[in-house]
Amino acid sequence: MFRTERIVEFGMCDIGGILFFAKIFDLTHSAYEEFVLSSNLEENYFENKHFAIPLVTVTADFLKPITLHEVLEIGITASKIGNTSFQLTTTFYDEAGEPKAIVKTNHVFVDKIDFKKIDIPNEFKNLLNLNKE
């Protein structure tokens, strides 16, 4: 499992000091970028000329309120790995290690010219396998 941390900033919260629901997706994407970039992969997966990795579906389950200035530990695991697509489960934990939210993102590798599905490159598939649930 890949792990990182984020602090809930003022601009992420509603007037009650609770994380605005859509901001969980900003935090998820930020952690995903760190997950990929910190892996020192040879290929550039965010600015690739040949393929893209768009999201297909995203779900979020909020288990407990996430509050202003809370330090969240974020864990990312590969929950499904197919030939052309994969699912990541991103779990947000409080300082006591209790889960506060779970976000599942489904991604697919596509050719940038015709947007047809392509196989996940071996390098990326290895990264996913290293972080399987």
Name the domain count of the chain.
Answer: 1
Bridge partners for 67 per DSSP: 18
Global confidence as pTM: 0.94
Q: What range defines the domain where residue 14 resides?
A: 2-130
CATH number, position 80 = 3.10.129.10
CA 7 to chain centre: 16
pLDDT tens profile 4-28? 999 999 999 999 999 999 999 999 9
C-alpha distance from residue 85 to each of 11, 33, 117, 121 (Å): 33, 17, 8, 11
Q: What is the pLDDT of residues 31-55, one digit of tens each?
A: 999 999 999 899 899 999 999 999 9
Handedness of CA 9, 30, 105, 55 (dihedral sign): positive
